[in-house]
Amino acid sequence: MAGPAGLECPAGPAAQAEIVVTFFIRRTIGAVLMLFVVSIATFLIFFGLPRLAGATPETFAARYLSRTADAHAQQVFAEKLGFYDPLWMQYGRWIKAIFVGTDYDYGTGIEHCAAPCFGYSFRTNHAVWTDLLDRMPVTVSLTVGASILWLVTGVGVGVLSALRKGSFFDRAAMTGALAGVSLPPYFTGLMFLYFFSYQFDLTAPGGTYVDFTDNPGEWAYSLILPWITLAMLNAAAYARFTRAGMLDTMGEDFIRTARAKGLHERVVVTKHGLRAALTPIITIFGLDVGLLLGGAILTESTFGLKGLGYFAIDAIGKQDFPQIMGVTMFAAFFVVVANLIVDMLYAVVDPRVRLS
């Protein structure tokens, strides 16, 4: 049986299942290789480039020691942490620590750092992995709430604008979308805080976060402004993308055929038109969620939320290499996994993807 673009589609369900499994395995292997490349690049940026710039093993060791430590103490500590070893050996230890842990105590007095071990902070001697987990609930809460809000709002407004092209609603929605895309989160966030929190006392002030397990109602109340601020930017973009996709799709031959068969307009729009227009939305939604899970830097900084984005900014400002490397790998993991999920959803929405 001939498939799309001249491809031969195996007729049997077993053959189709084999194609799907092969597709998923191939994409998973690609995702693992991408994380491997990112890990090499991350390590070389923070440990390779400084050496090219003249940094010595004692320079790295000094970051774990107090400012009063003399040259001998720095040398002893550098030897203990293996900073005199070749870079490939140091990279090997770093990767091994992530998967199986390490016996290097990094000056903390802890005999074993359990996997996944990203080392210890230069400043606090806290395990980087523990710090990441402590801030993860804030970022996940922000991402989940905002992503649902912008997806429902953006796609809904985009579909209605496409169906009512040229109407007052269409023009007003696209004008609002343009404004939403143009206004940065730190501006809208500060405006929302000033009016809704400090002037009218309708929402929680900045820096407020209540864990979901403690009180779900207070959790939502503390995040409603960050959700709206973050969703405004993305919902505006999604509305424009959805409108453009729906306008293209609703003029296709298969839409006219569906209408000629007497299908209800709601079925034509939702089952045939919207599904075809959602393909680019799936891509940007997966990437946006993956990036936000790595840290919504501007929104978290604006509202004083101690999530991964706030953690990353703090680590960069204080040049805490283990923390920066940890949050970089954390963010890369979410982006790669999001890409993998997008590829799999593509195969579900459009069978031509897995057949190509």
Q: Are 61 and 78 in contact (CB under 8 A)?
A: yes
> Is 199 found in the same domain as 104?
no
Q: What is the CATH number of the domain that holds 294?
A: 1.10.3720.10
With left for phi above 0 and alpha for psi between -120 and 50, is residue 126 left, alpha or beta?
beta
Cβ neighbours around 243 below 10 Å, total: 25
Q: Is the pLDDT of residue 127 over 60?
A: yes
- Token pair recorded at residue 16: 């189709």
N-terminal to C-terminal alpha carbon distance within the chain: 15
Based on the fold, state whether residues 200 and 79 are members of the same structural domain. Answer: no
Q: Can you tell me which residue has the tokens 């579900």?
A: 348
Whether residue 9 lies inside any domain: the answer is no
Are residue 177 and residue 83 in the same domain, yes or no? no
Q: Is 235 exposed, middle or buried (0-12, 13-18, 19+ CB in 10 A)?
A: buried
pLDDT digits (tens, 9 = 90+) for 192-246: 999 998 888 888 888 788 888 888 888 999 899 999 988 888 888 888 888 888 8
Average pLDDT of the chain? 81
Radius of gyration of the chain (CA): 25
Q: How many residues does the chain have?
A: 356
Do the Cβ atoms of 117 and 312 come closer than 8 Å?
no
Report how far Cα 238 is from the mean position of its chain's Cα atoms: 17
The domain boundary, picked from 113, 142, 175, lies at: 113
Dmax (CA) for the chain in angstroms is 86
- C-beta separation of 136 from 152 below 8 A: no
**Same domain (yes/no): 106, 133:** no
C-alpha torsion 265→269→270→273, nearest 10: 150
Q: What is the pLDDT of residues 76-114, one digit of tens each?
A: 878 877 788 888 888 888 888 888 777 665 555 555 677
The answer to the question of residue 33 being in a domain is yes
Question: Are 106 and 215 members of one domain?
Answer: no
Residue 51 lies in a domain: yes
Choice among 60-74, 144-158, 167-181, 312-326 with the minimum mean pLDDT: 60-74
Last residue of a domain, one of 113, 146, 167: 113
Query: Is residue 21, in this structure, part of any structural domain at all?
Result: yes
8 Å CB contact between 102 and 96: yes
Nearest Cα to Cα of residue 250 among 160, 349, 322, 169: 160
Q: For residues 47 and 143, state if they share a domain.
A: no
- Mean predicted confidence (pLDDT) in 153-159: 89
Residues 109 and 146 in one domain: no
pTM: 0.79
Q: What is the mean pLDDT of residues 169-173?
A: 88
Q: What's the Cα-to-Cα distance from 299 to each of 96, 128, 152, 285, 335, rounded to whole Å? A: 34, 22, 20, 18, 19
The SS3 assignment for 118 reads coil
DSSP calls for 223-289: HHHHHHHHHHHHHHHHHHHHHHHHHHHTTSHHHHHHHHTT--HHHIIIIIIIHHHHHHHHHHHHHHH
Residue 218 to residue 224: CA distance in whole angstroms:
10
Domain-located, residue 3: no
In this structure, are 152 and 88 located in the same domain?
Answer: no
Domain extent at residue 188: 128-350
Domain count, the chain: 2
Token pair belonging to 4: 């799309």
**CA 209 – CA 219 distance, rounded (Å):** 7
Read off the pLDDT band of 3 (50, 70, 90).
very low
Residue 6 is assigned to a structural domain of this protein: no
Q: Do 57 and 162 belong to one domain?
A: no
Yes or no: say if 104 and 82 are a contact pair by the CB < 8 Å rule.
yes
Partner residues linked to 120 by β-bridges: 127
233 in the same domain as 180? yes
pLDDT at 7: 41
Q: Which residue has the higher pLDDT, 226 or 353?
A: 226
**Same domain flag for 174 and 312:** yes
Residue 227 is predicted with a pLDDT of 92
Q: Which residues contact 329 (CB under 8 A, 6 or more apart)?
A: 35, 38, 39, 42, 98, 118
Structure tokens at 187: 């501006």
Q: Say whether the peptide bond before residue 116 is cis (omega within 30 degrees of 0).
A: yes
Instruction: Assess whether 213 and 274 both reside in one domain.
Output: yes
Which residue is associated with the tokens 């306008």?
A: 247
- Say if 171 falls within a structural domain: yes
| Residue 5, in any domain of the structure | no
Q: Considering 84, 113, 142, which residue would you say is the last residue of a domain?
A: 113
